[in-house]
Amino acid sequence: MLLKNKKILISGLANKYSIAAGIAAAMHREGAELAFTYQNERLLKNLIPIAEELGSKILIECDVSSDDSIKASFKDLNKSWDKFDGFVHSIGFAPADQLEGNFVDVTTREGFKIAHDISSYSFTAMAKEAKPMLNESSALLTLTYLGSVQTVPNYNVMGLAKASLEANTRFLAASLGKDNIRVNAISAGPIKTLAASGVKNFRKMLSEHSKVAPLGRTVTTEEVGNVASFLCSDYASGITGEITYVDAGFNIAAMPLIGYEE
């Protein structure tokens, strides 16, 4: 039981395919007490039965595009939890028109602003509001993607936002270290979630991934959840500011082995 006696807030659970759902299930299995935020009423419908199964009755609306909404959600959480032990930030967004076509042609000032606001600044904003309620030896976690450090077709301005999110992870780790609050990120391989479902040629990306990755396959939300549980547990007490890849090894391979075996 990695997370016994830990209270952890989970954001970004849109449906059962969400990475946040795999993380919540693993954390529940490891003994954590959970609370959830959801973006809007529409997504609450999917969340209710999942939270119920994971023994949580704390469901709070939080639209990270609004400071007022973020503030109100932590005030709301405070009614249930006096103190807690960390949160998972599993939120990313860019307008759909930013994620298709040639980077320099499709990227706009407004698209850039929204991608960075929702996908990176929101992590800082949540840490700011959570800080007064966080116990000693808390842990914060976010989800990033390889597009932060290498180009990926169509990922475009989301790659820049993820680069910002990874720097955000390091600056938050430096900032909160004196309070013994750790801050880490998981860089997950591609997974067919709601956010991925609108993406052109995503199936092709999954099959390319399986060809290159040393493990010869993609990863599951459960595998991401297991690493998330470890990073938020006291077993990871010496790890902060780190980007941990959960991608079946894809990021270390320059090309597939296929055709070069003896």
Check binding of 118 to ligand NAD (CB under 6 A): yes
**Locus of tokens 């932060």:** 148
Could you give the residue ranges of the DSSP H alpha helices within the chain? 19-29, 41-53, 67-80, 103-106, 109-116, 122-130, 157-176, 194-197, 202-212, 221-232
Which of 23-31, 122-130, 147-155, 245-253 is the region at the interface with ligand 0WE (rule: CB under 6 A)?
147-155
Q: Is residue 190 a contact point for ligand 0WE (CB under 6 A)?
A: yes
Select the residue interacting with ligand NAD from 10, 77, 87, 92 (CB under 6 A). Answer: 92
Question: Judged by CB under 6 A, which of 59, 163, 199, 253 binds ligand 0WE?
Answer: 199
Of 4-12, 46-54, 63-71, 192-200, the window that binds ligand 0WE (rule: CB under 6 A) is: 192-200
Give the burial string for 145-180 (b: 16+ CB within 10 Å, else e).
bbbbeeeeebbbbbbbbbbbbbebbbebbeebeeee
The C-alpha atoms of residue 3 and residue 234 are separated, in whole angstroms, by 8
Q: Please name the helix (run of DSSP H) or strand (run of DSSP E) that holds residue 259, with its range, or none.
A: none
Q: Report the distance separating Cα 52 and Cα 29, nearest Å.
A: 14
- Tell me, yes or no, if 145 is annotated catalytic: yes
- For residues 99 to 138, the per-residue mask of contacts with ligand 0WE, x marking binding by CB under 6 A and - elsewhere, is x---------------------------------------
In sequence order, the 6+-apart residues with CB closer than 8 A to the CB of 51 are 34, 36, 57, 58, 59
- Site map for ligand 0WE, 44-83, x if CB under 6 A? ----------------------------------------
Say which entry of ligand 0WE, ligand NAD, none residue 133 contacts (CB below 5 to 8 A, set by partner kind).
Answer: none
List the one residue from 134, 143, 176, 231 that touches ligand NAD (CB under 6 A): 143
**93 belongs to the binding site for ligand 0WE (CB under 6 A):** yes
Please list the residues that pair with 246 across neighbouring strands. Answer: 188
Token representation of residue 102? 């040639």
Which of 13, 25, 27, 11 minimizes the C-alpha distance to 232? 27
Near ligand 0WE by CB under 6 A: residue from 40, 45, 75, 96:
96
By CB under 6 A, the residues from 192 to 231 that bind ligand NAD are 193-196
Active site residues per annotation: 145, 155
Binding site for ligand NAD (CB under 6 A): 12-14, 18-20, 39, 43, 62-65, 90-93, 118, 143-145, 188, 190-191, 193-196
